Structure 1
Amino acid sequence: MVRIARWRYDGAIGEGFVVGDDAVPFPRGLTVADVLAAGLAELPALAEETDAAASVPLGDVTLLAPLVPMSVRDFVAFEEHVEGVTASIDGASRVVDEWYEFPTFYFTNPHSIVATGDEVRPPATGRLDFELEVGAVIGGVAGSDGRDLSPDEAAGHVFGYTIFNDWSARDIQGREMKVRLGPAKGKDFATTLGPWIVTADEFAGLLDDEGFLPIGMEVFVNGDRIGHDLLSNMGWPFGDLIAYASRNSRVVPGDVLGSGTAGNGGCLAELWGRAGELIPPPLAAGDEVVMRVEGIGEIRNTVGRAVHVPEIPPARHRSRARSRG
């Protein structure tokens, strides 16, 4: 298994391969960003250059997020998730016709990425939630600028996969969505990526004829399994998601595209919608959330106390005057 990671050791940041139980730095001072830009085709030669003598026991390092993303797009690609969450919003479980037309996404904050093991400090919220996802990491492809890709071309831009937790403050998100914009502040305080990137070639033999990847995903809160699903229950494979993201635009090495939240308990809001009440309860300070994805690994985070922020006054009711007269 080829795993790529970033870590902190002895006060310095290291970037390289995880080989067995060791962290092995890339040669020549290369970074994960450099390796993503070079693409999967360059990995075998790069691995030959590594110096095993420079390795550090994995147990002695602190893992960081496996990349510093160029951008983070998050899709809503699981129909079952949509059914449950819509019920939690307006009491009726439904999937609008527009969902089936194209794979919808939003941009989240690449500056609020957290790693496995980090404490997550949420905003003041009464409905803190997790979202169980897999992220596809984009790598370089010779001769392509990542623009206007076909689904087959787009699939070739997947460098690897990582676990993706889209932390959400559902009450804040709900207020934003009533204004027909967002989500933003209900989402942008934290996204966990980790524990590393597993290269796409490691999963090639599992892909079905349509490009779906049937790997297991599960999430636990304080040791209790809350949800589990297969990644292949997405409405579109990653090649389609990436192709749509590239329309009249570009995907570039270092971009991360989230699968969207798994069904069958991939988040609490889905379960709230189905139950008609806040069961299981929203996350609270001290709760531990663990996500495991087959073939990738595990991430775990503890919820911290809400961050105090300065107050902002409500909108002023102005005169709408058109001149200074």
Structure 2
Amino acid sequence: MKIARWRDGGEVREGFVADPDVVPFPDNRTVASVLADGLATAQRLWAEASALPASARRPLADVELLAPVAPPSVRDFVTFEEHVEGVSAGVEGKSHVADEWYEAPTFYFTNPHTILGPSEPVRPPVTERLDFELELAVVISAAPGSDGSNLDADAAASHIFGYTIMNDWSARDLQGREMKVRLGPCKGKDFGMTLGPWIVTADELDEYLDEDGFLALRAEVRVNDELIGEDLVSNMGWPFPELVAYASHNSRVMPGDVLGSGTVGNGGCLGELWGRNAGLTPPPLETGDRVRMTVEGVGEIETVVGETVAAPQTARARVRSRARSR
């Protein structure tokens, strides 16, 4: 099944993609409510939607796809060793993967309020190093008998409703400054993240699982139709159920949460290539560039880079006396 949200005229609808059409959920259900109920509910609704008359459907080409989920939280991992090697070369001047990277899958939380639809233009901050990041993400649903906390990998797998493509936009110059403070990234990232074009339920991708439980999906990214990066998702250091399990440790994963794989290797972002090429080759993204991402078995998203948005000037920190009394 493919689950989507779309705008049809002035109305937002949610339901299934049944090529070449979209069909709304029965009973005015939403993606959020389906995720809260779990896969069995989605399967029942699909059976009901499939029996609806043709008049209930709309051509996919006539609607505007939105982000397929409005997530309550977004975690983004860094699980591709090759990506870490390349980016570290650009940041630190040498290719290096810290020993700590191998110990557990690291992630950061990003902004769920600036999610973009699959064809919605990105409006970046003022930056000289705008970059994309090609990722695959899981979308979490409820699972019988589980509250989403302290899961092992098997239990975590039952919470994976499906997958969607993620583009974690990055302003590398802002990000580089922020991370020297040993915290972040923040404004280098939180201006936009593209999700789409829909959620493909996990069972649709079972045929791509290798013997170790990794998804051997081909992922590609093009800028203005030029192939920039390509990789197999199975080159990640941990399979998705282990990412979900780790996120749940001493915490919880909730229906609608999105967890990104981190950027694929071999050119999944420009920052990796800048490190390997010891310079800004290929060049940073500019207004008008088209970034197209394709993940086998999932689909394709394409985004045009819009004009930058200047924000009010931020004051520097005040130098204070550090007095301990008043």
TM-score (norm 1): 0.98
Question: What's the offset of the Cα at 1:319?
Answer: 1.2
Q: Using the alignment, how far apart are the partners of 1:58 and 1:117 within structure 2?
A: 14
Partners in 2 of 1:86 and 1:124 — Cα distance?
A: 24
Residue in 1 that maps onto 2:178 = 176
Matching of residues 136-151 of structure 1 within 5 Å: 136-151=138-153
Aligned partners of 1:150 and 1:276: how far apart in 2? Answer: 41
The structural deviation recorded for 1:44 is 2.3
Q: Which residue of 2 aligns with 1:64?
A: 66
C-alpha deviation, 1:37, in angstroms: 1.1
Correspondent of 2:96 among 90, 94, 97: 94
Q: Percent identity?
A: 64
Q: Which moved more, 1:206-215 or 1:216-225?
A: 206-215
The equivalent of 2:285 in structure 1 is 283
Q: How far, CA to CA, are the matches of 2:198 and 2:102 in structure 1? A: 32
Which amino acid in the other structure matches residue 41 of structure 1?
A: A
After TM superposition, which residue ranges in structure 1, 4 or more long, deviate above 4 angstroms? none
| Alignment-derived partner of residue 3 in structure 2 | 4
The one-character-per-residue Cα deviations of 1:111-153 (angstroms, maximum 9, x if unpaired) are: 0100111110001111100000001000110110000000111
Amino acid at match of 2:201: T
Instruction: After TM superposition, list the pairs within 5 Å mapping 1:1-325 onto structure 2.
Output: 2-50=1-49, 51-52=52-53, 53-324=55-326
Write the letter of the residue equivalent to 1:80: E
CA drift of 1:109 comes to 0.3
3-state SS, counterpart of residue 44 of structure 1: helix
User: Could you tell me how far apart the structure 2 residues matched to 1:43 and 1:14 are?
Assistant: 16
Q: Can you list the C-alpha shifts for 1:56-114, whole angstroms capped at 9, x where unaligned?
A: 11111001000100110000000000000000001100100000000000000000100
For the residues of structure 1 that align with 2:172 and 2:260, how far apart are their CA atoms?
18
Unaligned runs of 5+ in 1: none
> What secondary structure, in the 3-state scheme, does the structure 1 residue paired with 2:91 have?
helix
Q: Kindly state the Cα deviation for residue 322 of structure 1 after the two structures are TM-superposed.
A: 2.0
Q: How big is the shift at 1:210?
A: 2.1
Q: Which amino acid counterpart does residue 25 of structure 2 have in structure 1?
A: F
Q: What SS does the aligned partner of 1:119 have? A: coil
**Which secondary structure state, in structure 1, belongs to the residue aligned with residue 246 of structure 2?**
helix
2:43 and 2:243 mapped to 1: Cα distance?
Answer: 28
Q: Which amino acid aligns with 2:220?
A: E
Equivalent AA in structure 2 for residue 75 of structure 1: F
SS at match of 1:120: coil
Q: Secondary structure at the match of 1:85?
A: helix
Deviations 1:150-181 (A, max 9, x none): 01111121100000000000111111110000
Shift of 1:43: 2.2
Tell me the C-alpha RMSD between the 2 structures: 0.8
Deviation at 1:48, TM superposition (A): 2.1
> Normalization by structure 2: what TM-score?
0.98
- State which drifts further: 99-108 or 198-207: 198-207
- CA distance, structure 1, for counterparts of residue 262 and residue 124 of structure 2: 20
User: Which SS does the other structure have where 1:321 is aligned?
Assistant: coil
